[in-house]
Structure 1
Amino acid sequence: NKQLWANKVFYDYSQRESGRRGFILSRYGDWGSERYPAFFTGDTYSEWPVLAYEVAFTARGGNVLVPYITHDIGGFHGAKLDFDLYARWIEFGVFSPLLRLHSAHANPREGNLRMPWVYGSEGIALMRKYFTLRTQLIPYLYSYAWRGHQESLPILRPLYLEYPDLEEAYRHSREYFFGREMLVAPVLDPSGNQTVYLPPGSWIDFFSGKRRPGGVTFTAHYAVDETPVFVREGAVIPEQAPSEYSNAKPLDPLIVNVYGAGEGSFDLYEDDGVSLAYAQGASAHTPIRHARGGDGLEQLLIGPTQGAFQGQLEERSYELRIHTTDRPSSISLDGTPLSQWTWEADQTTAVVSLPRRSIRNRIGVEWR
C-alpha cells in the first residue's frame, strides 16, 4: 500500500523533526491508513445527492476506525452553486469532525468561486454565524478528540452506536450524533424540509430552545440559515468565548451549558495543544456533573481539575448558561444565594457569571 507508507513516512518525519504532533491530510485510503491522517473524500461534484451521500459516508467512517473525515465544502467540481446548497454544505461541515473550505481552481469569469463572500451579505452572515459557533465548540470538540484517541469512538457517530438495540436507529443513515450530547440531521433537500427521527428521551432544539419528545419522527421546514440540531435533556456542553482563532488560549472564561432537567456529565480535557507531552500524562481533566434532586432542585458540580500541563491556568472564571423552560426562582453558589444573574427570555436561558477561582476547588451551583 503505497499511500499507507507515504502517510507513515511523512507523519513520523514531521512529528520527529518538529517535536510537535504530526498531522496530514490524505485521500481516503486502505486498511491501516487511519493510523496517520485525516481523510478527505476526493474531488466531489457540487450536487444535492453528493451532499446526502457524504453525510451517511462520514457517519459510517467510525465503524472502520476512521474518525476524521472531511469534505470539500460546497463540492470540488461544477459550476457555481445555488446559495441554498452551499449553505447546507457549510451547516453540515460545522457539525463534522473537520471543517474545511476547498474547491477546484475556480475561474472568476465563469462565476464558480466557492468563497462565502461571493454570495454577498447573506453568505457572509451565514459564515460568521456558523464559523463562530465552531470556534465556541472547541472545548467540546477537543475533549471528544481525546476520547476518540483513548476509546476509538468517533465524535461523529451513527445512531446505532448510541442505540445498538434499537431497530429504528439503523434506518436513519442521514442523521448522526455529534458526541453523545448532540443529534444532527442536516437539511438535504432544496425545499428546506427535513424529516428527523429523535430517539427515546427528551430533546431540546440547540438553536431555539424548543422542547421535543423522543421516540418520534417529524418533518419541519428550516430556513436557509437554520439546521436541525438537538441536545439531550440533561446534557452538559462546554464552550469557549467567540474567537477568531480555533486554538485561542487560555480557556477563560469556561462557558458551561446545561440543558433542561435530569442527569448529565462531561469530562473536559485540556493539554498544551501542541507538544507530545500529553503522551507522558501532561494533561488535565475537569469533571462536570448535572444532577437533579428532590423538590425540583437542580445541581451542577464543576471540578476539581485533576492533572497539569505547561501553560495551564491555575484560576479561571466561569459562565453558566442554564437552558430551561421557566425562569429559575433562585440560584445559589456553594450554598450562598446569588442576586446577580440575567434571564434571556427569548432563549429561556439563565446566565450566571461566576467569579475567578482556583481550578483545584470544586464549584457547586444549585437552582430551582
Structure 2
Amino acid sequence: MKFTDGYWLMRPGCTARYATEVADIHADDHRMTLYAPVKHVSRRGQTLNSPLLTVECWSPAEGVIGVRTTHHAGSVRRGPEFALPGAGGDAGKVRRDGAVLELSSGELTLRVDTEQPWLLEFTAGGRVLTSAGERGTGFVTDAEGRHYMLGQLSLDVGELVYGLGERFTPFVKNGQTVDIWQADGGTSSEQAYKNVPFHLTNRGYGVFVNHPGKVSYEVGSESVGQVQFSVEDQSLEYFVVHGPTPKQILARYTALTGRPALPPAWALGLWLTTSFTTDYDEATVGRFIDGMAERGIPLSVFHFDCFWMRAYQWCDFTWDAETFPDPAGMLSRLKQQGLRISAWINPYIAQKSAVFEEGMREGYLVRRPDGSVWQWDLWQPGMALVDFTNPAARDWYTGKLKTLLDQGVDCFKTDFGERVPTDVVWHDGSDPERMHNYYTHLFNQAVFELLRAERGEGEALLFARSATAGGQQYPVHWGGDCESHFKAMAESLRGGLSLGLSGFGFWSHDIGGFEGTPTPAVFKRWVQFGLLSSHSRLHGSKSYRVPWDYGEEAVDVTREFTLLKHRLAPYLQRAAQQAHTTGVPVMRAMVLEFPDDPAAATLDRQYMLGDDLLVAPVFTDDGTVEYYVPEGTWTNVLTGAQVTGPRWVREQHGFHTLPLLARPDSVIPLAADDQHPVSAWADGVELRVHAFAEGAEHTVVIPSTDGPGETARFHLRRRGGRLHVTTDSPHPWQLRIGGPNATVHPHPAGTSEADLPYPA
C-alpha cells in the first residue's frame, strides 16, 4: 500500500512514525531486542507522549534472521499462523563490541550501531545484502484510523526482485505494486491464485513476511530504491534468508516453511480430462480413451471434471446417476486399462444438495456473526463454505472423499479456495482477514493428508489451483484459467516460473488453454510445452482437448511428445527428488540455474527442465522462436544440432521440434520403455552424452520409481580423448555420444565399466 505522496509528502490522512534510533537494548547469547523511539531523544522529557517500537531479532534456522517489530503488544493475536516446521530454535549468536551489536547465523549477520541513527544492516561475506534505514521500520495510521506496520528493505543498483507467488504480471517485480490476497482472477490480471509473501533477489537473499493475511508490497514502486511491505496490524514479522545462490535461498526457505512431498511417478504421464462444462457420460469417456489408444497415445490419468456430480449440487460427492449409473464399475473398467482416476472437487456446498442440510445441522459450514450460514449465489446457488478450522467438519468432508477413494478414485483436483469471505465467524475463532489467504492451505492439507493416509506415503497427489506459503508441501499445482492463445501460453509460463521462485517444486497448466478453443497451431505448440513441464494435463472449458479435434498432425505431435516424456521419466523423477529434498523446482527460471549470467536475469520465455535441459516453447504461428543460450556448446536433443553460447538465437521450427537443448557436459538418461511413465528405468537405459569436454565428469543417478531412492548410478569422465564409464547397475545399458542419430553402444547386463573413444 502506498502511504506517501512523492518523496516528501504523505497522502491525505496518513501519518507515519519511523524508528529513529536505539534507546535501549536487551540481549542474551542468541537474541536481541531493540527499543526504538520514533523521534530523536536528547533529554528525559522527550520520552513522554511518543511511541516506542519493540524490535525483536533472532534466528530460527542457520542462515535465516527474523525481525519482529511491534507497536502495541496488547492486541489480541487471533490465528491462523503459518506453520514453520524448520524453525528449530535459537540458531543465532549475539556479539557486542561497544555500541555495535551483531546477530550472526551461518554467514548472515544483522548489525546495529546503537550510537548511530536507526539502521538494521544485513551482511554476508563482507558485503551488505540489504538494510532497513531511515524509513525502514515503523507504522502508519490513515484517515479511517487503520493502523499499518511497515518494513522497507533497500535495493542495490541493478538488484532485481522475483517471486511473490504465481504472478502473471512481468516476471521481474521491480516497479510493481503487489497485494498478497487470494483471488480468482484468471491469468491475465494482477490478481493471483497462489499468493506467497516471499521474494528473493539477485543479490543473494530472500525475504519471507510471516503474515497469513493481506500483505501489500511496493517493489520499488513507492520508494524506488526499496521493497516496502505492510500489514494492517500492530506487529510485523519478517525473515531474511541468505543464499548466497538462488538455489540455496530456496533450500533454506523451504526448509523453514516445508518441502514439497514427492508425487508418485505415474503422475508424470499424460492426463486427459472431460473438460469443464462439456457434455459427457461413460460413452464419451470411453470414446476419448479408446481414441487415444487407437492413435498410439498412451494415457496415464483420466480426470472427471465437475459434471460428474449433478448440476446445482456441487459438492455433494455423489455421481450423477443419469450420466454414470454404475460409477464403481466404470472406474474398475478404466483401471483395468491401466489408468489412474482423478476427480474434481471444491470446498463449497450448494444449497440444493442434501449435504448442505447435513453440514448446516452439524455446524460444519462457515457462519456469519448472527449465527446464520454464510451463503451467496456466485459459483453455485446458495453456496456455503466448509469450515476446515473445525476438526469435525474436516473429518466429515474427508469422509465423503474416502467413499470416492473406495470406489477407485486415486487423486483429486482441489479447485477454487480463493473466494473466501471476511464477514464471517470461524469455528476456532480465527481472524477472517487472516483466514482469507490461509483457507486454501487448510483445504489442500485436509485432502492431501487423507490421500496419504489411505493411499500411502508417496502416493498422495493433488491438482490444486490456489495456495499460499507452505502450500508447496501438497503438490501438484496448476496455473488456473487461461485463454487459448499464444499470449496466454506465455503468461502461464511466466506465472509458473514466478511460483517456482516462491518455493513450489511442481507446476502444470491447461494444455491448449482453458477458455475458448485453441487454433491447431496453438494446440500443437502448447502440447510441446505441456509435455515438457513437470506434469501434463489436456484440459479446457467449453471444448474438448482430444488431439484429433485439432487435426492429424496434432495427433502426431501429442504422440511424439508423450513418448518423449516417458523416455525422460528417469531424468524427470530425479529432478522431482531434488525438489522434494532441496526445494529447487523441476521447472527452473534461467536465473535460478545461471545466477552469474546477467542475460539470464530477466528471461521468462524459456526455462531449465531439471539440471540439464533448456526448453524454449514456441509462441508464434510461423514457428519463429528467439531464445538465449548460456556459455558452452548446447545440443538439441531432438535434432542433434549444436549451438554455442553465450548468445541469442533466432530459429524457425516445425511442429515436431522446438529448442530442447542439453547442457554442455551433460548426460541425459532415457528409459527404454516409451509406453509408460513408470518402468524398470535402469533396464536398458540409454545414456545420451552431450558435448563432453576433455576432463569433464558427470554422475547419472537412475532414481527409484517409488520414493527418494535410486536403482543405479553411472559415473562418466573424459580423459585423453576417451570416455570411461563405471556403474553399479546389474542391468543392460546403452551409450550414445551426441544427438539422436549418433551411434548406440550397447552393454550387456553385468557390464560394470566401459572405455570408448570420444569422437572429435
Give the shorter-chain TM-score range.
Answer: 0.7 to 0.9
The aligned amino acid for 1:288 is F
Distance 2:555 2:715 in 1: 37
**Bigger shift: 192-201 or 248-257?**
248-257
Distance 2:746 2:648 in 1: 38
Partner residue, 2:712: 286
Q: Would you say 1:163 and 2:594 are equivalent positions?
A: yes
Partner residue, 1:268: 701
Q: CA deviation at 1:287?
A: 3.1
Determine which of 298, 312, 323 is the counterpart of 2:738.
323
- Structure with more of its chain in helix, by fraction: 1
Partner residue, 2:319: none
Determine which of 206, 225, 237 is the counterpart of 2:656.
225
Q: Secondary structure at the match of 1:132?
A: helix
Distance 1:189 1:19 in 2: 44
Distance 1:292 1:232 in 2: 16
Q: Would you say 1:12 and 2:449 are equivalent positions?
A: yes
Tell whether the 8 Å contact from 2:445 to 2:474 is kept in structure 1 after alignment. Answer: yes
The structure-2 alpha-carbon separation of the partners of 1:227 and 1:264, relative to structure 1 and needing over 3 Å to count, comes to farther
Partner residue, 1:43: 481
Q: Would you say 1:139 and 2:570 are equivalent positions?
A: yes
Q: Secondary structure at the match of 1:42?
A: coil
Q: CA deviation at 1:199?
A: 0.5
Partner residue, 1:331: none
So what's the TM-score if we normalise by structure 2? 0.40
Distance 1:259 1:250 in 2: 20
Q: Would you say 1:191 and 2:617 are equivalent positions?
A: no
Distance 1:55 1:105 in 2: 22
Q: Would you say 1:366 and 2:756 are equivalent positions?
A: yes
Q: CA deviation at 1:142?
A: 0.6
| Matched-pair identity in % | 25
Equivalent residues in 2 for 1:167-316, closer than 5 Å = 167-249=598-680, 251-262=682-693, 263-273=696-706, 278=707, 283-284=709-710, 286-294=712-720, 296-299=721-724, 301-304=725-728, 315-316=730-731
**CA-based RMSD:** 1.9
Distance 2:466 2:506 in 1: 10
Q: Secondary structure at the match of 1:258?
A: strand
Partner residue, 1:64: 502
Partner residue, 2:54: none
Q: Would you say 1:115 and 2:508 are equivalent positions?
A: no
Q: Deviations over 1:120-167 (max 9, x none)?
A: 321211111111001000000111111111111112111111221221
**Bigger shift: 1-10 or 239-248?**
239-248
Distance 2:631 2:452 in 1: 44
**Bigger shift: 283-292 or 62-71?**
283-292
The structure-2 alpha-carbon separation of the partners of 1:292 and 1:82, relative to structure 1 and needing over 3 Å to count, comes to same
Distance 2:641 2:456 in 1: 47
Tell whether the 8 Å contact from 1:195 to 1:218 is kept in structure 2 after alignment. Answer: yes
Distance 2:536 2:606 in 1: 18
The aligned amino acid for 2:727 is G
Distance 2:741 2:542 in 1: 46
Distance 1:94 1:208 in 2: 18
Tell whether the 8 Å contact from 1:137 to 1:239 is kept in structure 2 after alignment. Answer: yes
Q: CA deviation at 1:288?
A: 2.4
The structure-2 alpha-carbon separation of the partners of 1:297 and 1:228, relative to structure 1 and needing over 3 Å to count, comes to same
Q: Secondary structure at the match of 1:183?
A: strand
Q: CA deviation at 1:285?
A: 5.3
Q: Deviations over 1:55-79 (max 9, x none)?
A: 222222221111111101001111x
Q: CA deviation at 1:203?
A: 0.9
**Structure 1: segments with no counterpart, 5+ residues:** 107-112, 306-314, 325-346
Tell whether the 8 Å contact from 1:185 to 1:196 is kept in structure 2 after alignment. Answer: yes
Distance 1:58 1:265 in 2: 29
Q: Deviations over 1:250-281 (max 9, x none)?
A: 642122111122224244243352xxxx47xx
Q: CA deviation at 1:362?
A: 3.1
Partner residue, 1:337: none
Q: Deviations over 1:215-257 (max 9, x none)?
A: 1112111112221111122210111123322123464212211
Distance 2:678 2:754 in 1: 28
Tell whether the 8 Å contact from 1:321 to 1:349 is kept in structure 2 after alignment. Answer: yes
Q: Secondary structure at the match of 1:356?
A: coil
The aligned amino acid for 2:638 is F
Q: Secondary structure at the match of 2:649?
A: strand
Tell whether the 8 Å contact from 1:292 to 1:298 is kept in structure 2 after alignment. Answer: yes
Distance 1:35 1:42 in 2: 19
**Structure 2: segments with no counterpart, 5+ residues:** 1-437
Q: Secondary structure at the match of 1:54?
A: helix
Partner residue, 2:401: none
Tell whether the 8 Å contact from 2:704 to 2:711 is kept in structure 1 after alignment. Answer: no
Q: Secondary structure at the match of 1:252?
A: coil
Tell whether the 8 Å contact from 2:524 to 2:557 is kept in structure 1 after alignment. Answer: yes
Q: Would you say 1:352 and 2:745 are equivalent positions?
A: yes
Distance 2:508 2:614 in 1: 19
Q: Secondary structure at the match of 1:316?
A: coil
Distance 1:85 1:49 in 2: 10
Partner residue, 1:102: 539
Q: Would you say 1:89 and 2:526 are equivalent positions?
A: yes
Tell whether the 8 Å contact from 1:236 to 1:288 is kept in structure 2 after alignment. Answer: no
Q: Secondary structure at the match of 1:6?
A: helix
**Bigger shift: 249-258 or 163-172?**
249-258
Tell whether the 8 Å contact from 2:465 to 2:478 is kept in structure 1 after alignment. Answer: yes
Q: Would you say 1:55 and 2:504 are equivalent positions?
A: no
Tell whether the 8 Å contact from 1:133 to 1:242 is kept in structure 2 after alignment. Answer: no
The aligned amino acid for 1:51 is M
The aligned amino acid for 1:350 is T
Q: Would you say 1:153 and 2:584 are equivalent positions?
A: yes
Q: Would you say 1:128 and 2:559 are equivalent positions?
A: yes
State the structure with more CA Rg: 2
So what's the TM-score if we normalise by structure 1? 0.81
The structure-2 alpha-carbon separation of the partners of 1:220 and 1:123, relative to structure 1 and needing over 3 Å to count, comes to same
The aligned amino acid for 1:356 is A
Distance 2:635 2:456 in 1: 43
Q: CA deviation at 1:169?
A: 0.7
